[in-house]
Amino acid sequence: MKKRGRFILFEGISGSGKTTQAKIFSKILKAHYFKEPPQEGDFGFVREIVIKKNLDPLIEFFLFLSQRRYLYLKIEKILKKGENVVLERSFPSSYVYQFTLGNLKKIISFEEFSLIDKRARNFLEPDRIFIFDVEPKIVLKRIKSNKHKYEKLKILKKARVSYLNYAKTFSWRVIDANKNLEEVTEEVLKFL
């Protein structure tokens, strides 16, 4: 029986450098690289709908869960073959943007929210979760165009605090992403 592959998750606010690091580490680990929500493919429409429409929080949550379920079933098969996976964004983003910053907490409890999400993921947990922490003002300099509703300074500040709180609660590894590219990569390498 093959040894299960490694599953690494990269998280953080927009412009934190998680995409760059996820791509670097997918090469280092010879891993399959996925992004959630996907921008194309069978569930590429989810992100566009959520960004452009003002949806009921529960509808938004279930849209994300449907694509997450599809993706995690795919990831599970890859890991069983002994291959590695690097994922950019997943359930921590839902914790931050849908539950803490959104209106979902007015509809369901965190325990219900978390359990439904875990079931959608088939209870599959990443081996490591890295939260890329960066000052929101730096982020706004990095993000030059195509800003959406989650890329405003006020939201970025709240999201950052929320990510850091969840990281503390769940023992996720926080990486100082205010540093230069090489320093950030070195810091991640230390904790792999």
CATH at residue 145: 3.40.50.300
First to last CA, the chain: 24
pLDDT in tens, 32-63: 999 997 776 676 777 777 777 788 899 889 99
**pLDDT greater than 90 at residue 129:** yes
pLDDT at position 54, please? 81
Judge whether 3 lies within some domain. Answer: no
Provide the CA 43 distance to its chain's centre, in angstroms. Answer: 16
pLDDT at position 173, please? 98
Cβ pair 121, 127 in contact under 8 A: no
Report if pTM > 0.85. yes
What SS3 class is residue 12?
A: strand
- pLDDT over 90, % of the chain: 73
Judge whether 140 lies within some domain. Answer: yes
Judge whether 116 lies within some domain. Answer: yes
Q: Which residue has the higher pLDDT, 167 or 46?
A: 167
Structural domains in the chain (count) = 1
Judge whether 1 lies within some domain. Answer: no
**pLDDT greater than 70 at residue 66:** yes
- The rounded mean pLDDT for the chain is 91
Judge whether 159 lies within some domain. Answer: yes
**pLDDT greater than 60 at residue 149:** no
User: 113 falls in which pLDDT band (50, 70, 90)?
Assistant: very high
Judge whether 113 lies within some domain. Answer: yes
Judge whether 91 lies within some domain. Answer: yes
Judge whether 2 lies within some domain. Answer: no
pLDDT in tens, 5-42: 999 999 999 999 999 999 999 999 999 999 997 776 67
**pLDDT greater than 70 at residue 192:** yes
pLDDT at position 2, please? 79
| Average pLDDT score over residue span 75-90 | 98
Structural domain that includes position 116: 8-191
